[in-house]
């Protein structure tokens, strides 16, 4: 009885490993290499990367099923930062500005909340991608924020690179994080 169960478990394990290997091979074939100037990365074959008209930097749209889900910026571009709000400890200022274009937040400990990014829509952290330091941006909430990566200098002319997506589905987050890991900068 135990031998039969062991054989059954062994066959199940072999099939599972085979399926995982086959799936990973098919998944790899589902990606294509993209090159923008001296930067290359892999993206799903379903992603269409198209050069757009722009000034000051080169801009590419990322489209899936006729829907733009993100952009790639190469050239003169600023690092990620959230400056579309202000924090105040004064109730009068808060009341005056809370319904305007600039977001206003009331805080009893303004300095701490500002330093900790309490009111930011995104989390930010630094990571090393293929020996290059990058700033990664991920949304704090599932329905608000952006997914992105930013490199401060990708060549001798100090051009910058940013890839940003506003599609916040869990699947898209995983895909973009995978894309980020494949970025290679040829200096």
9 part of a folded domain: no
Determine, yes or no, domain membership for 22.
no
* Average per-residue pLDDT for the chain: 84
Residue 36, helix vs strand vs coil: strand
CATH code for the domain in which residue 107 is found: 3.40.1000
- Do the domain assignments include residue 38? yes
> What strands lie across the sheet with 39-44, from one edge to the other?
31-36, 39-44, 184-185
DSSP assignment, residue 74? E
Give the model confidence (pLDDT) of 126-155 as tens digits.
999 999 999 999 999 888 999 999 999 999
Q: Is residue 7 part of a domain?
A: no
In the chain, how many domains are there? 1
- Give the structural domain span for 173: 30-185
Instruction: Flag whether 59 is in a domain.
Output: yes
- Model pLDDT, residue 161: 96
DSSP β-bridge partners for residue 50: 61
Q: Can you tell me the distance from the alpha carbon of 56 to that of 36, in angstroms, rounded to the nearest whole number?
A: 16
Whether residue 1 is contained in a domain is answered as no
**From 15-19, 39-43, 78-82, the region with the lowest mean pLDDT:** 15-19
Going by C-alpha positions, the residue among 81, 101, 90 that lies closest to residue 146 is: 81
Across 35-61, average pLDDT: 95
Residue 38, both tokens: 């001296």
């Amino acid at each position: 009885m135990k031998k039969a169960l062991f054989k059954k478990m062994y066959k199940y394990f072999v099939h599972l490993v085979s399926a995982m290997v086959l799936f990973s091979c098919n998944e790899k074939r589902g990606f294509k290499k993209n090159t923008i100037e001296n930067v290359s990365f892999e993206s799903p074959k379903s992603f269409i990367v198209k050069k757009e008209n722009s000034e000051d930097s080169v801009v590419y749209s990322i489209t899936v099923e006729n829907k733009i889900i993100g952009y790639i910026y190469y050239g003169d571009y600023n690092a990620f930062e959230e400056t579309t709000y202000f924090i105040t400890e004064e109730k009068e200022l808060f009341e005056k500005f809370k319904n305007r274009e600039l977001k206003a937040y009331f805080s009893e400990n303004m300095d701490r909340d500002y330093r900790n990014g309490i009111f930011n829509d995104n989390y930010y952290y630094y990571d090393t991608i293929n020996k290059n330091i990058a700033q990664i941006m991920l949304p704090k909430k599932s329905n608000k924020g952006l997914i992105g990566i930013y490199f401060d200098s990708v060549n001798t002319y100090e051009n910058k690179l940013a890839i940003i997506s506003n599609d916040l589905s869990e699947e898209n987050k995983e895909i973009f994080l995978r894309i980020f890991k494949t970025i290679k900068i040829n200096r």
